[in-house]
Structures are given as structure tokens and as C-alpha cells.
Amino acid sequence: MQDYIRKLKKLTPQVHAFAKKSHARYEVRMEQTQRNQSRKLRTFQRGSLVKLYKKPLHKKHAKLSSTWQGPYIIVRMSEDGANADIKHVGEGTVLKQQMINSIRMYVDRPNSAVPERERKKAAYTGKSWVVEKVVDDKGTHGVDKHFKIRWEGDFQDTWEPEDNLNCPKLVQAYMRSKARKPAQAGAYYAGDTASPWAMTIPLNLLALDASDMTASICRQAGISMGCIAGKFGFVPCETYSVADMSNITRGFHHRDHTIPSKPPRRDAGDKRDKALAHDLLISNILTSWMCDAEAGYDHAMLLENPVGSLQHRPFMRWLPTALGLTQRRVDFCAYGHPFKKPTHIWCNLKWKPKGNTGDGRCGTVCGQGRVQESTGKYKHYRGLAQEPIRGPRGPGANKLLNSIPDKLTQEWMDSMVKRRIDQPDQNTIIDLCAGYQSIKQWALDNGFNYIAVDIMGDRNIRRRQAAKSSTVQP
């Protein structure tokens, strides 16, 4: 083995020389192609003002959001001129190894954002203080912009040029709060006249660090973590459905039901990928709640998912227990819902299921079915994943399948109101994976601010827009 290692070391310079010579031949051949000979060579110099192309997450987003961002300044070019290190003129973060194809020259126009030649350079004295909060602003961005700063310690608020500040997150939080002007903590309680507010945040929860998930939502909403009364998670149920086993014969299943823990199916494909994503999403949410609890925040927590494979997943055996969440089972038909839909609820609320039956379970007395004369068994008038004629159909089918019964929601809200008596400043509910926002109106009616978080935003608006476009005649 030692002889082999010495032989490799001896051959290493020859390998590097051969690779370098091969790469040079490759570049010559590429330059001689008709395609590259007709191209114009794009060159940039250190200190040039450029803009950067940001590929949208979805092709539809390119019509609604800015795909070119900047201005940036080039701080270093690679030897071959194919890559550049760039820095935004308003921040200190350096983006390294950006491809030259994603960069274009930034052309100054009247009132353009932060043109480099118009930026005022503030004198640096060598002293620094810690910023507690940004409370006000004045002037034009990039010209004479100033922010009013509240400092940590016994100091008076001062107006500072934006170039003096090194707290982009605090500035960003201030600008977001200024744009929306949310109600202050405890503003709506005990007969106050201020009204609660609601907002929707389109956010991919899989892309967030679990330790910063709740804090990130609060930053975008312009509130503090101390304002949160509860966090509700109505997580996806597609890959956990009890009907998933019946899809095995057609190859449409997501999970391996021969294993008690119900892991994602073993063969690669879209079904396995979706099951993996759902497992990661739910474990990420619960982990973020664990981080919040370890940081000392006492928030109400509720996770809902229909009875199925989720209860068997390994992370559901220890994370809810560590958070102090109790597992309860209810049947939606006991709350007046047309379908039975047995559902698991993990929560730390002082809530006891009641519904129309007294215990939140069907018990064949829910009133949503009758006893069949032929079989003597109780059968619901409407059913899920059974005879098509009994299933949900029409434009509102998806919302009906994903909605929460009003009576069940009110039971949760009654528990939240009682909890708030001891914690009046906690006045905001965060609703995760809230595409249809079933509890929004109930939260507002009970005096809570409401924040819906979903990767697709408000799906009710999307559904109304789709219905409207389908009825428009050409």
C-alpha cells in the first residue's frame, strides 16, 4: 500500500499537467465553434456597478417579481473572467463565484436605487454602539436617507445615515412594520376599540432553519415573539391518508405499509419524494416549536392530521411528548361535518372534545347517517374515498375536504380565550400550512390577530380567481 501511495504521488504532477493541457485544448475547440464566435465577449472590471439575475422559484413568479436585482459592485474577477465576487452597495455580504452570464451592467437612471456615485460617505470615528431598534426614518434611499435609532443602554435616540448602520435585519423589520402597521401587543383585549388584523405570508417552511422558523415569520409580520398566543399546524395529509394502502394495487401509494413505521416507499419517484417532503415538513415544524420552548416562550401549540400513517412515524413518538402535547382523536361528523373524517389532534390546550355527541366521537349518534335495514350497520350519508356518488364533488370540494368544522374551531378558541386571561399580551395566532385559512374568521371574532403561512399563499383567492376566469366568455 505504501508503494502504491508513493507511485500516486509521483504521478500527480503528470496528471495535473495532462488535465491542464486537455482543458486548454477544450477551450480552443469551444472558441472555434460557430456559436461562440458569433457571441460578444462580456467583460467587467473590479468596481463596476452591475445587476444580478435571480431565477424565480416558478415560471409564473417571473411576471410578478423582479428577476434582476441590484445594484451590486464587483469586488473580484476570476482569472478566466467567467465568475465574479459581488457585493450589494447597501450591505456588506459578498456573493462569491457568480457566473458572468447572470450579470449585466447596471445603468444609472434618475431616482435609481442606490447609485454608487451618489452615495454619501460617512466619516468613521472608530466607535460603535449596539442598535436595539429602528423607530423612524427620513430622506431618500441612497441620497440622504437617515434612520432614527434606539440604542442599547442609557442613550438618547439619534438620527444616523444609513451608511453608518450595520443592522440590516433590524432595518428590514422596521420597513416591513411600517408598510403594514400592525396592531400593538395587547391592543385588542377587554373591550378595547382596536380591531384585530390578518395577513398571509407565502413561505416555504421546508426552506427555513427550524431554530429560526417562528422568528422568521415574526420578522415578516413585523411583530415580536412575545405577541404569539398560539401556533396551529394543519399539515398535509395526502401521504398519510388511510386510503394510501388501497392505492398499492395501482401503484399510486406513497408509503410502505408492510413496515409498522410507515416509511416512504422504497422505489424512487414523485410519490416517495412527496412522502419524504411531508415527513421533513412536520418534523421541521415540531423541531421549531421545540426550539421556541427551549428559548423560554410559552405558546399554545396544536397539530392536526386525519387518522392515518402520521401517528406511526418515529418522530411523532417523541417530539410531541417532549413538547407536552397530548394526542386526542375526534370525528368531524360529531361536529356537524358531512363526513366522518376521524382526525388526530396533538395539542397542549386545556381542551376536552365535546361536539354534538359530548365526547367528539361519532358513536353512531352524530346525525350524519342512519342504520341500514339490510345490514343493521350505521352508514354515513356521505363518505370519503368510497362510492363516487357519496364523495365531495363540485368547485368547493377541496375546501370542504380541508375545512375544519366551525364547532370544533370554536372549542379551540374558547380554550385560547381562557388561556389569554393570564397572558393578555399574547394576541396573535400563527396558522401554518393554512391554504384555506379555516380558522381565520374565528380567530378575528375572538380578538386574535391572525397570520396564515402557506407556500401557495391564500388559496381561497386563487380558487376565486380560477372560478372567475373559467366563467369569462371569450
Please write the tens of the pLDDT for every residue from 367-417: 888 888 888 888 888 776 555 556 665 555 566 666 788 899 999 999 999
Cell 391564500, residue located? 458
Nearest to 96 by CA among 84, 81, 104, 88: 84
Classify residue 298 as exposed, middle or buried by CB count within 10 Å of its CB (0-12, 13-18, 19+): middle
C-beta of residue 315 within 8 angstroms of C-beta of residue 282: yes
d(CA 107, CA 293): 49
> pLDDT above 70 covers what percent of the chain?
79
DSSP category for residue 43: -
Average pLDDT, the chain: 81
d(CA 92, CA 89): 8
Q: How far apart (Å, rounded) are the C-alpha atoms in residues 401 and 101? A: 46
Q: What is the largest CA-CA distance in the chain?
A: 91
Is residue 327 within 8 Å of residue 346, measured between CB atoms?
A: yes
**In a 3-state reduction of DSSP, which class is residue 268?**
coil
User: Closest Cα partner for 214 from 292, 301, 325?
Assistant: 292
Please report how the helices 213-221 and 168-180 are oriented relative to each other, as an axis angle in degrees rounded to 10: 50
Q: List, for residues 119-177, the tens digit of each pLDDT value.
A: 545 555 556 678 888 988 887 665 677 889 998 888 888 998 877 787 877 887 787 66
Each residue's pLDDT expressed in tens, for the chain with a length of 474 residues: 888 889 888 999 999 999 999 988 888 888 788 777 776 667 788 888 888 887 765 555 555 555 777 788 898 888 777 888 988 876 677 888 888 888 888 876 555 444 545 454 555 555 667 888 898 888 766 567 788 999 888 888 899 887 778 787 788 778 766 654 443 333 333 334 468 888 888 888 888 888 889 988 988 888 888 899 999 999 988 899 888 888 888 888 999 999 999 999 988 889 999 999 999 999 999 999 999 999 889 999 999 999 999 999 999 988 899 999 999 999 999 998 888 889 999 999 999 999 999 999 998 899 888 888 888 888 888 776 555 556 665 555 566 666 788 899 999 999 999 988 888 888 999 999 887 788 888 899 999 999 999 888 776 665 555 544 444 443
CATH code for the structural domain at 198-471: 3.40.50
Topology of 129-180 in CATH? OB fold (Dihydrolipoamide Acetyltransferase, E2P) (2.40.50)
pLDDT at 56: 64
Which H helix or E strand runs over 75?
strand 68-77
Cell matching residue 411: 372549542
* Beta-sheet strands, E only, within 120-268: 131-138, 146-151, 158-161, 198-202, 228-234
- The span from the CA of 285 to the CA of 459, in Å, is 21
What's the Cα-to-Cα distance from 249 to each of 224, 245, 273, 301, 447, rounded to whole Å? 50, 9, 19, 38, 49
Backbone φ and ψ for 343, nearest 5 degrees, come out as -135, 145
Evaluate the CA torsion angle 39, 40, 45, 49 in order and state its sign: negative
The fraction of the chain above a pLDDT of 90, given in percent, is: 28
Q: Which three cell numbers stand for residue 192?
A: 378595547
The residue ranges of DSSP E strands in 249-393, in sequence order, are 300-306, 326-331, 342-347, 369-371, 378-380
**Which one-letter amino acid corresponds to residue 330?**
V
Q: What is the pTM of this model?
A: 0.58
The residues with which 399 forms a beta bridge, in sequence order, are: none
